[in-house]
Structure 1
Amino acid sequence: MFKEVSLPLAFYNRDTWLKVAFFGVCVFMAGFSLYFTDGLVNKLEEREKQQIELYAETIRYVMTSDENADINFFFERIKKINENNTIPVIWKDGSGHLNSINIAMSESLSTEEKQTLLQSKLQEIIAENNKPIEMDMGFQKEYIYYGNSKLLKLLRYYPLSQLLVVLIIGFLGYIFFSYSRRAEQNRVWVGLAKETAHQLGTPLSSLTAWVEILRNEQSINPEIVVELSKDIQRLETITTRFSNIGSMPILKEEDLEELISSFISYLKIRISTKVHIEIKSALIANQVANVNKYLFEWVIENVCKNAVDAMGGTGDMLIYLHEGKNNQLYIDISDTGKGIPTANLSKVFAPGFSTKKRGWGLGLTLAKRIIENYHEGKLSIKSSELNKGTTFRISLPKPAVS
């Protein structure tokens, strides 16, 4: 099972509190906006209801007053109410005839057409769930139906627009923090790689000189000198790999099957003899891919060593080369190991996750970076089943035919 390893590299989690704080501010802004606007909407809704109730009471008073009553004041009140609001109002009298305020209608419409239009508008107003106001005229009951004003409608949708703005700000903030984190990680990768290459340079020069001295010693077994030379070449390859990290490496057309076969031959004598590695290819003969030999071998090494560890040093490994969709070349590396739990599939390439008790868990992270950042390809988990094994897939673009 994959286990999380604590990294000495603080940058992996340093900005977590900033993301949490930023997310908290966004949630607070959204919550406060919704709460404040909801309160404002409720107050405006109550105010409009009182205004329409006053309007209905004024009409009722005017309609039921005796002939000698002075109702000019109330007419002025009705006029002001009509002029100072945008609340759509439909007045339904006892006979079912409809009159309206703040509902646009063409003057060219006939009386029947206006009534038909008002019936349609009435249904829309009823759908807004404002309770109609009843007016008792003594001999009959009439009703005032009213909808929401333009301002109230705008305020109802305003929180949604604010929430959208907060979400956009939150998304942009997340992008910013993620970009900053990746940028810092990249600087650490590059610094670590360059410093490692520099530190290896001096002892390598010394070891090369010592090997030349040993070649001339008759008492030294020549096979030992040969093996030492191979290991020095290996260290030089590693130094070249680290030197290429952080700068755009030079890609060359390499015979993919030959390159992998050559490296696996080297790897076989350096891993458990109980691991059987088989290479199968469905590619055309001498199929090439644009790769940086040193970095690509590093990827194969990391994935294969991960497979060996997953099998506990005993099992079968199959490397299958074939062509996929959209002019892609696939390298599928399968093992018969313990597999990866579903919960950890998305974490395999994250720094700090490893199957081993020791180590930083950076091998697969580096491999993914090399393939995707430098080779325009993709490294992913094709499949994994507990206690049966895992298949990693490396995808590379097929070179264009010149």
Structure 2
Amino acid sequence: MLGQYFNWRTLLALVAILIVTGTIFYSNYLAGKIAVEERQKVEQWVEAGRFLIYAPVDADTKLPSLIRNEQKSIPIIETDEKDSIVSYINIDSTKIAADPMYLQKQLKAFKTQNQPIILEISKQPLLINKYYYGHSVLLQQVKYYPMVQLFIVALFIIITIFSLQIRNKSTQNQVWAGMAKETAHQLGTPVSSLQGWVEMLKEEDSSRQIATEIEKDVQRLRLVSDRFGKIGSTPQLEQHDVVIQVEEMVEYIRKRATGKVHLDVKKNAAEMSAKISPPLFDWVIENLLKNALDAMDGKGNIIVDMHNEERSIILDVSDTGKGIASQNVNRVFKPGFTTKKRGWGLGLSLSKRIIEQYHKGQLYVKHSEPGKGTTFRIVLKK
């Protein structure tokens, strides 16, 4: 049971999560250490300034001056006891020139980042200087590095998943094409043989009627072979009247349906022309009509409603059958899904492939309600 969840993909994901988590913790640890060191540097900078102001004339000021001059990484704003800005260092002067309120904004930001260092100048009257400081570039980089790394890892995972999906889809398409070509190839030999036997039967008067019926079935087999052959390769689309194609398939299904099933074709134009592959398009209509028949258990109504729009032709195939449960609506086009006791669950999947990949149209469930029926919609571009 657990074995199906623990595979190489799961292991890689866990390793990636551990690496990112470890990096985040370590980066926070480093950021904490750097923050402590930066506060010490600011304190030393303030003390060095105090010494330079109050030191005796003969005092050695070399070290305090070095501390003051070498501090070039931490931005500092000096204020008085009323938080009025007195001076500043390591802040971009061009931004201050462009925005008069820039220093005030920086001061507000520094107050949220660190506690100020207070330097008492005198007690009576009370005069103090406050030194607010922000994060250095190094500290900001250490803090934001884990976020950048997390983004890169997430992007890598997304690209990997997307690549796997494309590869799986490509493999599935190759399987479909290979299966279709092999089926067409396997059907080709017996169909040709049967055609020869039909011609021999026609030569005898007593067998002509039988030969005529057998020929119909042979032609049907040849059509099936032709359809599978076109599935395995890119079909040639030609301009055809869709109304004629639909009406012929409805008539074909009507002959094979019971007398309690009523098939009707509705249309808002006598002719609707689009680029299609007739054998494949007929196959789609046949699949939808057969599904409708199966859903009605021998009685009900099937309506093919055709609309000629400005840029497209819309076909709605509706039945009064059992309908599709809401949880299955998004699964009906997946290969292998079927609610029938017999069948491979490939009809609707093949139909969607034919309409959307070969004809650049759409095939979807427009509406379905259990116990009342289903409507499939085909949209063909003109």
What is the TM-score with the length of structure 1 in the denominator?
A: 0.80
Report the equivalent of 2:255: 269
Say whether 1:174 aligns with 2:158.
no
Give the C-alpha shift of residue 256 in structure 1. 0.7
Corresponding position of 2:150 = 163
Report the 3-state secondary structure (helix = DSSP H, G, I; strand = E; otherwise coil) of the residue aligned with 1:339: coil
SS of 1:322's partner is strand
**Residue 316 of structure 1, CA deviation:** 1.8
Contact 2:48 2:65 (C-alpha < 8 Å) held by counterparts? no
Identify the match of residue 290 of structure 1 among 254, 260, 275. Answer: 275
Is 1:37 aligned to 2:27, yes or no?
A: yes
The residue identity in structure 1 corresponding to 2:28 is D
Alignment partner, residue 327 of structure 2: 343
1:315 is aligned to 300
Cα distance, 1:156 vs structure 2: 3.4
Other structure's SS at 1:340 match: coil
The AA in structure 2 aligned to 1:123 is: K
Question: In the TM superposition, what is the alpha-carbon distance from 1:242 to its structure 2 partner?
Answer: 0.9
Q: Indicate the residue corresponding to 1:125 in structure 2.
A: 110
Determine the structure 2 residue equivalent to 1:5: none
Classify the secondary structure of the residue corresponding to 1:353.
Answer: coil
Output the CA distance in 1 between the equivalents of 2:137 and 2:167: 44
Q: 1:372 aligns with which of 318, 332, 356?
A: 356
Amino acid at match of 1:191: G
2:92 partner amino acid: A
Q: Deviations over 1:149-176 (max 9, x none)?
A: 1222233333333333333323322332
The superposition leaves residues 372-398 of structure 1 with CA deviations (integer Å, 9 ceiling, x where unpaired) of 221121212222233322221111111
The partner residue of 1:242 within 209, 224, 228 is 228
Distance of 1:270 and 1:176 partners within structure 2: 46
Taking the aligned partners of 2:80 and 2:253, their CA distance within structure 1 comes to 95
Question: Counterpart of 1:51?
Answer: 41
Q: Distance in 2 between matches of 1:191 and 1:200?
A: 14
Structure 2 residue 241 is the aligned partner of structure 1 residue 255: yes
For the 8 Å contact 1:253–1:288, the answer to whether it is kept is yes
1:306 and 2:291 aligned: yes
How far residue 199 of structure 1 moved from its aligned partner, in angstroms, is 1.2
From the superposition, tell whether residues 337 and 202 of structure 1 become closer, same or farther in structure 2 (CA, over 3 Å).
same
Q: Secondary structure at the match of 2:130?
A: strand
Which residue identity is paired with 1:183?
Answer: S
Alignment-derived partner of residue 332 in structure 1 = 316
1:9 corresponds to: none
Q: 1:78 aligns with which of 67, 70, 84?
A: 67
Instruction: Give 1:248 shift.
Output: 1.6
Instruction: Give the equivalent residue in structure 2 for 1:362.
Output: 346
- For the residue of structure 2 that corresponds to 1:279, the secondary structure is strand
Query: 1:215: Cα distance to partner?
Result: 4.0
Among 83, 95, 103, which residue is 2:91 paired with?
103
Secondary structure, in 3 states, of the residue corresponding to 1:306? helix
Name the CA distance, whole Å, in 2 between partners of 1:71 and 1:189.
88
CA–CA separation in structure 2 for the residues paired with 1:169 and 1:357:
44
Structure 2 counterpart of 1:122, which letter?
A: L
Measured against aligned partners, the alpha-carbon deviations of 1:328-375 in whole angstroms (never above 9, x if no partner) come to 111111122333333333322222211223433221111111112211
TM-score by length of 2: 0.84
CA contact under 8 A between 2:253 and 2:290: conserved in structure 1? no
Per-residue CA deviations over 1:252-296 (Å, capped at 9, x if unaligned) read 22211111111121122234443322111113x232211111111
Cα shift readout 1:45-69 (whole Å, capped 9, x = no counterpart): 3332332234345555666x67589
- The one of the two structures with greater contact order (alpha-carbon pairs below 8 A, sep at least 6) is 1
8 Å Cα contact 2:113-2:135 kept in structure 1: no
Structural RMSD (CA): 3.3
Contact 1:310 1:355 in 2 (8 A): no
Is 2:370 aligned against 1:386? yes
- Number of residues paired by the alignment? 372
Q: Quote the Cα distance in structure 2 between the aligned partners of 1:28 and 1:145.
A: 37
5+ residue gaps, structure 2 = none
Percent identity over the alignment is 39
- For 2:305, the aligned partner's letter is Y
